[in-house]
Chains A and B, each alone.
Chain A
């Protein structure tokens, strides 16, 4: 699975949009981009995933560049409860592959 690079930490003001970048320049055509987050002392929580097109759900939006070498997770109106570590993961769509978590981005939402 392709390697991902994320900034170690970011701050965001409450009520503003949080834009979390992820670089996956070695991604291949059949690899999905996944985002999970982990709030302190809890298990990771699925947020969103996509292959080529931008995706939106009730939690967030995922913007994938046309060349698929990077993506951005957008939390449209960040709240204090969005403070967490956010993991960007890429993995192939088939085959016996486990999820590989990197170091993630620690997002701190400030009041």
Chain B
């Protein structure tokens, strides 16, 4: 069974641009959640999607958005990029929604550098 696939693996953008990251969950998994990881703040939750609906959102500005398609694939978008958005963006999939007793399976992440 293929794991969680994130594309692209590396991305370089400049301030003010926008970026779209993609995540394909494990086959059969319907929940996708996104995380930002930086050396200073660690791993922080961005949002979760289940059955094409956003169920939960972390404390990030509106420049960060996402969506989920009917095949459970998910994209996240960051508009008007800032230097501080440079980070490793991770997505995780799980069978069911994030309600406690489930395991998360993470992709390898997209390393975004904003110049």
Contacts and interface: CB of A to CB of B under 8 A. Distances in A.
A49 B42 contact: no
B75 interface: no
Interface residues of B, number: 25
B58 interface: yes
B106 A92 contact: no
Interface size class of A (residues with CB under 8 A): 20 to 34
Given A46-B104, A91-B100, A103-B42, A98 B92 contact: no
B55, B56, B106 pick with most chain A CB within 10 angstroms: B106
Contacts of A42: 106, 108-109
B4 interface: yes
Given A98-B56, A98-B58, A32 B100 contact: yes
A92 B99 CA distance: 8
Contacts of B4: 43
A43 B105 CA distance: 8
B100 A46 contact: no
Contacts of A101: 35, 42-44
A42 to B, nearest CB: 6
A44 B45 contact: no
A92 B4 CA distance: 25
A43 B108 contact: yes
Contacts of A36: 104
Interface of B: 4, 33, 35, 42-45, 48, 55-56, 58, 90, 92, 97-101, 103-109
Given A94-B100, A101-B44, 14 more contacts: A32-B100, A45-B106, A49-B103, A92-B100, A93-B99, A94-B99, A97-B99, A97-B100, A98-B56, A98-B58, A99-B33, A99-B104, A101-B35, A101-B42
Which A-B residue pairs are the 7 nearest by beta carbons? A43-B106, A93-B100, A101-B43, A98-B45, A46-B103, A96-B56, A43-B90
